[in-house]
Amino acid sequence: MEFLFGLDAQLLFNTLLMIVSIFFLFLAMSYLLFNPVRKMLEDRQAKIASDIDTALADKEDAAKLKAEYEAKLKDIDKEAEQILSEARRKALKNEAKIIDDAKLEAASIMRRANEEAELSKKRAMDEVKQEMVAIASMMAAKVVAANIDTTIQDKLVEETLKEMGESTWQN
């Protein structure tokens, strides 16, 4: 009895038995070896994907932090410029105040000097008047000694004052 291609039944049975046993062996190996390896590969793939997602999220966070940092640097520059301009403005204001105070003090010193000059002038005028009174007293003594009456004495005092002149004793 010839079956297929001239092969005997025992060979076909052995071949069929070998194919079935290889199939069961493949199923058993697949269940015992391939599935854990597949699971391990899937877990590794998931971990890599997770790491990539985490890296992308970290990169986005770093970009946000960098943008915030740059914005803060700009704000700090603006704030520093504002502080400097405020300091300049205060310095100019203080400078103007100091100059005004110095001008007021100089004016006060000038006023006091003028007042002192006026007082000195008045003192000098008073001294000149006192000298005139002393001269007039001496003249009066001479007049009294010569028995001159009061009208003659008044005329002498007036004449003396006119001769000396007001400009002489006011300067």
pLDDT of 84 reads: 93
Convert the pLDDT of each residue in 35-90 to its tens digit: 888 899 999 999 999 999 999 999 999 999 999 999 998 899 889 899 999 999 99
pLDDT of 77 reads: 86
Please give the C-alpha separations between residue 105 and each of 17, 97, 112, 116, 166, in angstroms, as whole numbers: 126, 12, 10, 16, 36
pLDDT of 170 reads: 54
Convert the pLDDT of each residue in 107-147 to its tens digit: 999 999 999 999 999 999 888 888 888 887 887 777 666 65
The structure tokens listed for 160 are 């003396």
pTM for the model:
0.37
Residue where the block lists tokens 């000195």: 120
Q: How far apart are CA 38 and CA 84, in angstroms?
A: 67
| Measured distance between the N- and C-terminal CA atoms of the chain, rounded to whole angstroms | 171
pLDDT of 146 reads: 65
Q: How far apart are CA 118 and CA 170, in angstroms?
A: 11
Please tell me which residue, 33 or 56, carries the higher pLDDT value. 56
Encode burial over 46-73: b for 16+ CB neighbours within 10 A, e otherwise: eeeeeeeeeeeeeeeeeeeeeeeeeeee
The structure tokens listed for 50 are 């997770």
On the question of pLDDT at 3 being above 60, the answer is no
The residues near 121 (Cβ < 8 Å, ≥ 6 apart) are 170
pLDDT of 167 reads: 58
Q: How far apart are CA 7 and CA 167, in angstroms?
A: 168
